[in-house]
Amino acid sequence: MKVVIFGTGMYYRNRRAYIDNKTEIVAFIDSNINKIGRKIDGIMVYSPEKISSLEYDVVILCSIHATAMRRQLILLGVDEAKIQNWWMYYGKTRVGIINILNFNYLSEARGKKLLLISHSIDYSGAPMALLYAAMALRGKGFEVAIAAPKADRAYIDEFGDRRITFLEIPSLPYINEEDMYFFGQFDYIIVNTLLMIYSAYILKKTLRVVLWVHESVRELFVRSVSEYEELADEEKYIDINACAVSGVSANMCGEYYPGLIKRIIPYGIPDKNASYISESNSKMVFAVIGNICSFKGQDIFVEAVNIMKTEYRNKARFIVVGKCEDDCFKKKIEALNIRFGSVEFCGELNQAQIDELYSTVDVVVCPSRVDSLPIAITEAMMRSKICVVSDVTGSCDYIDNGINGYIFKTEDSEELSNIMENIINGEGIVDNIRECARKTYEKYFSMEAFAVNLLNILEK
């Protein structure tokens, strides 16, 4: 297949290794005048106006601005049927590939079959919430599989023995008629995250499907609207049985897909520890747990530690845990930390290591600039930890400030610093907050409550 690739920036560079070996790139086109006339990967870059002089089968759009690119090409006379977004090209070249990553428990299935589809199988929040959904419904007699276009092998090694079948299906979210024989074996399908909405749109035509939206970052909604132009019409998505993990996510979704979200379904997590164990004669430990990137706000936490009074800073340890998603942002927070060097960076940990870490942590901080329902905070409540969250997180819906946790205004590192100082100075008060945090978990986030909510939405 001969293709022209529209877009030569980071979007393309991050994906060029995944171009199928049967695909021949005959040319690049780009609107950047500084790139026109140059070669990239040995192939000439032309202006979009030259498209009519090129011979090709498909134009692949490699940009988050795919909608504008498509319109530009159509105005230039390109047949719309020959224009494909990257995800559609990638999916079409990998149709029919289904890799079983552990054991095919479905072959032994006797109960109802449930498939859970996600954008990835890894340790980040939404895939972990989906794993807990699988565990909750396994407990109700379902035979469960989780599928995604990519998977973390360490994750599979850790959770692959839970009688849940893990599948890698590279073509997702693209689904064509050839795939339907596979998906048709399931009684129910839960599609996890807005990034996979196209799968929900295709599958809901013939199967019982629920879309569970977790996103709250605006850029992800902009990307979804651009990449899934077919769903711009409300009539195409309005009958999807969709729910959101929190009010934060539902409100953001409403701006881009009005009427899509029908109800809120918070996740549940397994009960691993019902009591807080105090470590005597040790420093109080504050931890931020989550991928390192701007919207998670680790820089706000580091700045809060920096402006803390020395006497309090010396009484505590400060830890940041998570995979780096943005090297430039990590360099920024490391530069902030040079002032006192008080914050320790632990890198990415698997779930077993995080469970061990929690035994040493007293306070979990979520300084996010936006966050649907941070799983680290819910896990902290489950473990009777003190929780401190910014006021733009979904967790705020479950926290009474000063009763079962603390809330500070987003971006306000000074207010966060004051709260942490008060926690260090207020042992008698914080014991009550730990107890109330635990009760919040039991009321809203237990696996039993989660299973009931999931069963109700599946039957709608």
- SS3 of the chain: CEEEEECCCHHHHCCHHHCCCCCEEEEEECCCCCCCCCEECCEEEECHHHHHHCCCCEEEECCCCHHHHHHHHHHCCCCHHHEEEHHHHHHHCCCCCCEECCCCHHHHCCCCEEEEECCCECCCHHHHHHHHHHHHHHCCCCEEEEEECCECHHHHHHHCCCCEEEEECCCCCCCCHHHHHHHCCCCEEEEECHHHHHHHHHHCCCCCEEEEECCCCHHHHHHHHHHCHHHCCHHHHCCCEEEECCHHHHHHHHHHCCCCEEEECCCCCCCCCCCCCCCCCCCEEEEEECCECHHHCHHHHHHHHHCCCHHHHCCEEEEEECCECCHHHHHHHHHHHCCCCCEEEEECCCHHHHHHHHCCCCEEEECCCCECCCHHHHHHHHCCCEEEEECCEHHHHHCCECCCEEEECCCCHHHHHHHHHHHHCCHHHHHHHHHHHHHHHHHHCCHHHHHHHHHHHHCC
pLDDT at site 428: 56
Domain boundaries, the chain: 2-92, 99-268+449-458, 284-444
CATH classification of 2-92, choosing from 3.40.50.970, 3.30.60.50, 3.40.50.720, 3.40.50.300?
3.40.50.720
Nearest-CA neighbor of 91 among 227, 262, 215?
Answer: 227
- In this structure, how many other beta carbons lie within 10 angstroms of the beta carbon of residue 75? 9
Domains 2-92 and 284-444 share a fold: yes
Structure tokens, 26: 């005959």
Structure tokens, 255: 């701006």
What contacts 110, CB < 8 A, 6 or more positions away? 143
Nearest-CA neighbor of 190 among 181, 203, 178, 177?
Answer: 203
List of the chain residues with pLDDT < 70: 109, 273-281, 427-428
Instruction: Give the C-alpha separation, 138 to 295, whole Å.
Output: 34
pLDDT at site 382: 96
What contacts 181, CB < 8 A, 6 or more positions away? none
Architecture of the domain spanning 99-268+449-458: 3-Layer(aba) Sandwich (3.40)
pLDDT at site 15: 94
Instruction: Give the C-alpha separation, 419 to 421, whole Å.
Output: 5
Q: CA 153 from chain center: how many Å?
A: 18
pLDDT at site 37: 97
Q: How far is CA 35 from CA 9, 29, 39, 268, in A?
A: 10, 9, 8, 50
Strands 164-168, 99-100: pairing is antiparallel
pLDDT at site 226: 86
HSE of 398 in the Cβ direction (CA atoms, 13 Å)?
A: 27
Q: CA 329 from chain center: how many Å?
A: 18
Fold of the 284-444 domain: Rossmann fold (3.40.50)
pLDDT at site 281: 47
Q: CA 399 from chain center: how many Å?
A: 23
What residues pair up with 347 in beta bridges, in sequence order? 321
Instruction: Give the C-alpha separation, 336 to 345, whole Å.
Output: 13
Instruction: Give the C-alpha separation, 6 to 344, whole Å.
Output: 43
Instruction: Give the C-alpha separation, 246 to 379, whole Å.
Output: 16
Instruction: Give the C-alpha separation, 322 to 459, whole Å.
Output: 37
